[in-house]
Amino acid sequence: MFAVGSLWDIVFLVALVIAVAPFFGAYLGRVYMDRPAFGDAILAPIEHAVYRLLGTSPRQSMRAREYLLAVILVNGGVFAFLYGFFFFQGLLPYNATHAPGMSWDLAFHSASSFTTNTDFTHFTNESQLSLGSLMIAWPLALFVSAATGLSVLVAMVRGFVRRDGTLGNYYVDLVRTMTRVLLPLAFLFAILLVLFGVPETFRNLVVAHPITGGTQHLVFGPVASYTSISLLGTNGGGFYSANAASPLANPSAASNLFETFVMMLIPFSTPFAFGQIIRRRNESWPYMGTILIVFAIAVGLFIAYQAATNPALLGIANLGAQSNGYPVGQETRFGLPEASLFQVVSVYSNVGANNMQISALSPMAQLVLLFGMFTQSTPGGEGTGFATLLLFAVLGIFVGGLMVGRTPEYLGKKITTGQVRWAALALLVHPALILVPFVVAVAGGFVSTAGSIPVSAHTFTAVLYEFTSEAANNGSALSTAQFVDSSTFFNVTGGIVMLIGRFLPIWAMLQVGGKFSEQEVLPPGPGTLRTATVTFTIYMTLFLIIVSVLLFLPVIALGPLAQILGGA
């Protein structure tokens, strides 16, 4: 076990994020409101020039259907560009490592993965991806998918404060996200990452001459600029296949804490952006409370299980004591609490970067990570995570209203069958996207196991983790040597799961927002459920946990629980 004193830095980091979030969230909210905002003097003329170029203007506010059309067009364009680039990367420039073009199914999986903010990879970056793909194609998706998530969230939230049926202009939201949030922050954080020791160069390949002879090929590139937007935008893709475990992407314990902060910044601030846009800041806290309760339990459990001794290794002769955490699949420099915080933040914010190997974790720690992807909303990915929490709230208030005989209304807007139907659809499609392909893969014999080993509980968990990560647009992977996920079956089903798991909930979020936007605001009456309260916070937390557990308990029992109970 580790000394309790060594937890001070992760407690400090979380406290720092909680202290910064109300202020940064308020700024974030103002970006999407028609108010004078910081940076207007320089940015407003640029933005207006871009609007004119695109042939649109902030005055053209879109209804849900048109907003969705714009989202599909822009993201479809990103998908097509990435698919083409990956398929033909062998012929395109910036390819010093001679990466061949991808097969159609791998290109489909990769393009789906990056467009949907998932960044799940079925390839080895260092040998199967050209520098051009890493520098030109992939970052387009890193920026646009993050900006899309935030845009969809604010569009939905505007439904609470508008009465004309419109949700804003998607192109304007994208442009303002780029100029006022993602580009300046990604730029600043990239420079800081260089100061932490992360490479940033266009020399792709350096041949080194080790002391003992032979050669070693070192692959470099614009790692800092790539990593910065990958983490800030909750994408989670890695420049290297080892992702944030690679010393080249995460060189020290200090850089590890910094990268944790970068991942937390936007997801933990969005509740306050919500409060800013609806002009009721105290409505942010119930959600922040819900997120923090679930998140704190997750971090605590994860650290406890990672600090525990692995009983399977006690019989090994001459092996030193298991102290300072469990080293298999871990890096030396981070330290146990710091590495654990990074990993839990990454999965719970649907970033999906990893600074350790998830397959080497204890089954309980794996279960903690799975739970974060089941809820998708504590705090969840850029924009869509909090929008998912709002969908939970719509359902929760409706159910709660029925139970206590209150009018189901939220922020002066009535919750009708229309909203409930869309919210339920978005939340139910998630387990369906995990369980259906999971059953097909296992029962259909698509899980190719090494040799003739039957599907073990560990492999079972790996397949479950694969589809959970894809359905939640997370991107972290539990890859094991026994489970090969780069087959045509897993490329195609995985790609489809990611696309549906991204765009069907987005459709639902826009529909819910659109329906709210068509309604008049009701004055609060005696039957109104007050939501800015501790009671509502506790109710939301329990509602979220119970719904998630009920949806997923059967499948947890077959994978991680079987491992924990059976020791298989």
Partner 1 sequence: MAERSPGPSGTSGHRPKHALSTGRHVRATGLFLVLMVVVAGFVYPFVVTEIAQVIDAPAANGSLLHYPNGTVAGSSLVAQNTDAPYLFWSRPSLSDYNLTLGAQTAPGPSDPNLTALLNETIAYMDQYGIGTVNATVPFWWAAPSASSIDPDLVPQAVLVQVPRVAAANNLSIGVVTALVNKHIVNPPFPDIGVPYVNVLSLDLDLIAMTGR
Q: What is the helix (H) or strand (E) element at residue 205, kind and residue range?
A: strand 205-208
The answer for residues whose C-beta is within 8 angstroms of residue 71's C-beta and 6 or more apart is: 148, 151, 152, 170, 503, 506, 510
The answer for residues whose C-beta is within 8 angstroms of residue 443's C-beta and 6 or more apart is: none
Q: What is the helix (H) or strand (E) element at residue 369, kind and residue range?
A: helix 363-375
Nearer to partner 1, 6 or 533 (CB): 6
* Token output for 505: 């909930």
Q: How far is the CB of 447 from partner 1 (least distance, A)?
A: 16
Q: How far is the CB of 120 from partner 1 (least distance, A)?
A: 15
Q: How far is the CB of 37 from partner 1 (least distance, A)?
A: 9
Nearer to partner 1, 112 or 377 (CB): 112
* Token output for 133: 């793909």
Q: Confirm if 467 and 431 have CB atoms less than 8 A apart.
A: no
Nearer to partner 1, 104 or 196 (CB): 196
Using CA atoms, how far apart are residues 305 and 312, in angstroms rounded to an integer?
14
Nearer to partner 1, 317 or 404 (CB): 317
Nearer to partner 1, 171 or 467 (CB): 171
Q: How far is the CB of 245 from partner 1 (least distance, A)?
A: 4
Q: What is the helix (H) or strand (E) element at residue 77, kind and residue range?
A: helix 64-87
Nearer to partner 1, 337 or 380 (CB): 337
Nearer to partner 1, 189 or 268 (CB): 189
Q: How far is the CB of 337 from partner 1 (least distance, A)?
A: 9
Using CA atoms, how far apart are residues 14 and 31, in angstroms rounded to an integer?
25
CA–chain centroid gap for 15, Å, is 21
Tell me the residue length of the chain: 568
Q: How far is the CB of 396 from partner 1 (least distance, A)?
A: 25
For 162-202, where are the alpha helices, taking DSSP H only? 170-177, 183-195
* Token output for 463: 């397949």
Can you say whether the dihedral through the CA atoms of 463, 464, 465, 468 is positive or negative?
A: positive
Q: How far is the CB of 419 from partner 1 (least distance, A)?
A: 20
* Token output for 275: 């409060």
Candidates 133, 143, 168, 132; CA nearest to 75 is 143
Nearer to partner 1, 7 or 399 (CB): 7
Neighbours of 80 (CB within 10 A): 12
Q: How far is the CB of 293 from partner 1 (least distance, A)?
A: 26
Neighbours of 230 (CB within 10 A): 30
Peptide bond preceding 363 in cis form (omega within 30 of 0): no
Nearer to partner 1, 473 or 479 (CB): 479
Would you call 440 exposed, middle or buried from its count of C-beta atoms within 10 A (0-12, 13-18, 19+)?
A: middle
Q: How far is the CB of 333 from partner 1 (least distance, A)?
A: 5
Nearer to partner 1, 52 or 428 (CB): 52
Q: How far is the CB of 537 from partner 1 (least distance, A)?
A: 26
